[in-house]
Amino acid sequence: MRRICGAALMAGLLAASPPVVACAAAQPGVKGSAADMNARATRFADRPPIAFGTAWYPEHWPEERWEKDLAWMEKANFNTVRIAEFAWSTMEPREGEFDFEWLDRAIAAASRHGMMVVLGTPSAAPPAWMTQRYPDVLRVDEDGVRATHGGRRHFSFASERYRMFARRIAEKMAERYGDNPNVVGWQIDNEIGPPSFGPEAEERWHSFLEQRYGTIDTLNERWATEYWSQHYNNFGQIPLRATGQHNPGLLLDFKHFTTATWTDYVQNQLDAIRAHADPRQFVTTNTMFWNAGFDHYELHERLDLASWDNYIQDADPDWIANGANHDLVRGYKQRNFWLMETQAGRVDWVPINRALAPGQVREMGWQAVQHGADAILYWEFRAARNGQETYYGTVLGQDGTPAPIFNEIAKLGGELREAMPALADTEPVYRMAMLFDYDSRWALDLQRLHEDFDPIREFTDFYRPFRLGSQGVAVLPVDAELSAYPLVVAPALNVVTASDAERLEAYVRGGGHLVLGPRSGMKDDANALWPQRQPGPLEPLLGAQVEQFYALDQPVKLTGAFGAGEAAIWAEWLSPEAEDVEVLARYDDPAGWLDKKPAILSRPVGRGRITYVGAWLQPDMMRRLAEKLMADEGIGPILSTDSDDVEIGARSGAGKTVLIAINHGDEPQPLRSPVGAERIAGTVTNGALPAHGVAVFRVDRDMLSTSKGATH
């Protein structure tokens, strides 16, 4: 698989000689293709293809103020509001008494000002009448303490009574607004995640395990419960725990249980909405940064699109890590997503709540679009008069006048409005793929063996040089269709099932290049060691095994085909078995276990190749390895740059191609404008992209659409 599409992609793109680029072919019918679902904000053909707006809480303010607030939204170039997500006590002030007339008027007012409306179901914050009369709906923590009223997410995800109330309010809303032409979509709940450990959850846990394993003997065998006399006689004996000195199989299955329970919880409201809603209205739920509470791929399977809440914790964005999370969210459905919440300057929950620098709110908005967001919504529009989040950054102050960030947000909105015709029905262009697996993340987190072996950090350390070098990385689940990608990297595929191994082997034999990182193939999906050594069921494909692994308290040197460098945190001693295994790097560790031992191996198999990276490489060596792997597959950047502060990405589809260049740095950076391109947003001054500047170009539609493969 050496599909070179540089000529088709790059002809006329640069004044200088273009790099060689390998692209993955777009596959008809694959999720995310334009043929599968339009790459635009909604399914309403007469609505804007890009949503830009805010979270609005009309119930917080006198109704006579609404028109002024909505007028300010128009001035900010907003076209979308999200409302009602925390308004349960306003919609149902007493049990069984519903008041939607205020919401009718709010939706109508928003529509008069040109706003699309997304309705949030209010189940993240139950009303006091419910928690007082039915305390069994409240969440119980792992120590057995029941939550009290006054916060949010204090309900039990396992409570049948709570699910009944949540379904009823969702159904009432859907009956009333399911055919409202101004309502384009629904958000179920808000940032779900905290589990419960009460009696109902425990009962569900035991039923889940019985359904998963069938018999207690099978569970005992999979969990190896002979260890520490853990043998169980029946499912009812098994404790419901998420932490502590418990069997690794139990702890991983707790994550499977929370996934199943949250998925069922969301499905409960999803069914109520879909029974009454216009099929053009989408249904989603908003998730959070690298959230580990459940498997997002599974939860999103029945939802229409993914959405997430992007908040920068330290006001000093690591743009590559942030982009990786955008790509992860897009991978949930393998189609464009909504940025349902993002900060208007600052947050209020970190040690120093510094505001983003001038220009950064705009640049982070364009980054989201570059990575596949078809919507950007700011939280929140106006500072509340009281409440737990009054210090959050807002578009308007509590006095109803614009905050300093208003003009920057309005500028972004104006640019998006101008760029909408070019962006409509386009999707990110990917050169390669990386695999992110929740079972592997959880298994590694449960047994790190080195305090710094953070699976998210490891993923990002791999992602960084590949994103810089390819300028387009799809993040996918392990069971995704991979044949379109010449290079697939799995940084920490710790958990590998037999079926996973079969799919990955087929990918390699069919012509793909699979790259595995350290700690790959150690465990099965019950968190048990495979009987063979690493990489478990992939050992025959690799033609090698891991002889031993070592947590490192100091760096170890390596030398190899792409130069010398160091490994830190983790190193594995690899042992080739097949004659055609190539050693790409060895350790240089005099007097140590690793001295002269292979660290990186590669083997041709069928029409493809498998490479195993047995060490956590330091950044310089990781970058050189990534450059070699990409060069081997003919993968290069879309637009060459001289600085790692400049992010380049493309969106393509419907015969159009849009290039987005972003300078995340504090100094101007050179940018060679694409030859013959039309600039539709931003500025390039004297051949340079300003600090925190953006430039958006519409380029020849043939540059990507006729290539052997731009994967959208």
What is 574-631 written as a DSSP string? EEE-STT-EEEEEEE-TTSTTTT-EEEEEEEETTEEEEEE-EEE-HHHHHHHHHHHHH
Cβ-contact 6, 28 below 8 angstroms: no
Cα 709 off chain centre by:
24
Q: Kindly state the helix (H) or strand (E) to which residue 709 belongs, with its residue range.
A: none
Cβ-contact 599, 585 below 8 angstroms: yes
Measured CA to CA, the distance from residue 572 to residue 615 in angstroms comes to 6
Q: Kindly state the helix (H) or strand (E) to which residue 559 belongs, with its residue range.
A: strand 556-560
Which residue, among 142, 120, 139, has the nearest Cα to 131 in the 3D structure?
Answer: 139
Which residue, among 81, 82, 698, 25, has the nearest Cα to 424 in the 3D structure?
Answer: 698
Q: Examine the residue annotation and report whether 341 is marked as an active-site residue of this protein.
A: yes
What is 450-486 written as a DSSP string? STT--HHHHHHHHHHHHHHHHS-EEEE-TTS--TT-S
Catalytic annotation, pick one of 200, 341, 363, 408: 341
DSSP class of 4 = B
Parallel, antiparallel, or unpaired for β 544-551 and 598-605? unpaired
From residue 381, alpha-carbon distances to 189, 345, 394, 399, 402 in Å are 19, 12, 5, 12, 10
Strand partners, 81: 54, 117
Parallel, antiparallel, or unpaired for β 337-343 and 307-310? parallel
| Interior angle at CA 617, CA 470 and CA 471, nearest 5 | 10
Residue 499 — φ and ψ, nearest 5°?
-70, -35
Catalytic annotation, pick one of 85, 92, 171, 191: 191
Instruction: Report the interhelical angle of 160-177 vs 101-112 (nearest 10°).
Output: 50
Give the number of other CB atoms < 10 A from CB of residue 71. 11
Cβ-contact 24, 7 below 8 angstroms: no
Cβ-contact 437, 477 below 8 angstroms: yes
Cβ-contact 78, 413 below 8 angstroms: yes
Active site residues: 191, 341
